[in-house]
Amino acid sequence: MPDSPPSALTQALRTSKTPDVRRAGATQAWHQDIYHRLIMANWPVFFAGFALAFIGINLLFAGLYALDPAGVLQNGEHQHDSVLFRSFLFSVHTIATVGYGNLYPDSTYVNCIVVVEIAIGIQVFALGSGLAFARFSIPRARIMFSEVAVVRRFEGYPTLMFRAANQRNNFIVEASVRVSILRDVVDEGRTLRRFTDLALIRSSSPVFALSWLVMHRIDETSPLYGMTQAEFAAQGDELIVLMTGIDSSVSQPVIAGHGYAGSSILWDHEFVDVMRTDDQGQRWIDYSRFHAVVPIPQ
């Protein structure tokens, strides 16, 4: 039977993006959560928005300056450029506080507008700098998850396994992982999508430096007990993984997530070993083999 398509949650976790789900009935205006929108926007959109805001503010003040055509001097004259173009350049000089050279104010009205624009400019650049710093300072975990999970016998029980690796050359301390199964449950004729936590052989690690083989024993208490790969795919179950810890370099919490659905879980397979030791006794981890699995001979 063909696999069910992964849910929006699983797709989002695998791609580190927000769930691609259309929302209806929301009444919140865009400006009520503008900080979060600016933090979550990608960099091209962020810079494009800043550029549009910068041009828009300068066009607004250029229109105000143009109301007094004689209020802005250009090298002591008024004739060289159009009034609006000269006013736009003057607005850019003002809001950026680069000082007045060939353009400068020459009337009380223009000087009053200059005061307002400089006050607004200070706020705009302060907010822009703060947002850019906030975006750069968000801690992001570079945790890699294996593309597939496997089920093989371990210590006498079929065991679900997947790999995680810290791609940075540092430690994630007090690391913990939580694995849940997302399954459709019918209750009194209604279908509900519910999470059920899976008990892990080891759910935490004091130090996560290289790789971690996360394991769930499929015994009588497991929601996966007695299932085959075809049954798992046909039922539409998905595994949701959430890993948390503290990045030792910045002493800030980091979060990483992943999801497995359908054929992403392979029964009777095992992972290829990624650890080796060279002739000098140096240990290596080979990330090129991180996702590799092989079938277990029956």
Dump pLDDT digits (tens) for 47-103.
998 999 999 999 999 999 999 888 887 775 555 568 888 889 889 989 988 877 777
Do 104 and 144 lie in one domain? The reply is: no
Average pLDDT for 187-198: 82
Termini Cα distance of the chain:
23
Do 145 and 133 lie in one domain? The reply is: no
Compute the radius of gyration of the chain from its Cα atoms: 29
Owning domain of residue 147: 140-295
Do 163 and 291 lie in one domain? The reply is: yes
- How far is residue 52's CA from residue 260's CA, in Å, rounded to a whole number? 41
Residue 24, pLDDT score? 60
Q: What is the pTM of this model?
A: 0.70
| Residue 26 is assigned to a structural domain of this protein | no
Look over the chain and give the mean of its residue pLDDT values, rounded to a whole number.
83
- DSSP 3-state assignment of 148? coil
Give percent of the chain above pLDDT 90: 31
Pick 115 or 40 by higher pLDDT.
115
Domain end residue (candidates: 107, 137, 167): 137
Do 239 and 288 lie in one domain? The reply is: yes
Residue 7, pLDDT score? 61
- How far is residue 111's CA from residue 118's CA, in Å, rounded to a whole number? 11
| Residue 7 is assigned to a structural domain of this protein | no
242, pLDDT greater than 80? yes
Do 104 and 45 lie in one domain? The reply is: yes
Do 291 and 254 lie in one domain? The reply is: yes
Domain end residue (candidates: 121, 137, 153): 137
Do 132 and 191 lie in one domain? The reply is: no
Residue 2, pLDDT score? 41
pLDDT band of residue 232 (cuts 50, 70, 90) is confident
Average pLDDT for 203-214: 90
Which token pair is 122? 């200070």
Do 144 and 283 lie in one domain? The reply is: yes
Residue 257 CB neighbour total at 10 angstroms = 19
Task: Please list the residues that pair with 149 across neighbouring strands.
Answer: 265
DSSP summary character for residue 33: G
Do 128 and 197 lie in one domain? The reply is: no
Residue 1, pLDDT score? 36
Instruction: Count the domains in the chain.
Output: 2
| Residue 291 is assigned to a structural domain of this protein | yes
The dihedrals phi and psi of 53, each to the nearest 5 degrees, come to: -65, -40
E strand residue ranges, 5-111: 72-74, 103-105
237, pLDDT greater than 90? no
Going from the C-alpha of 192 to that of each of 23, 187, 188, 199, the distances in angstroms are: 19, 7, 10, 22
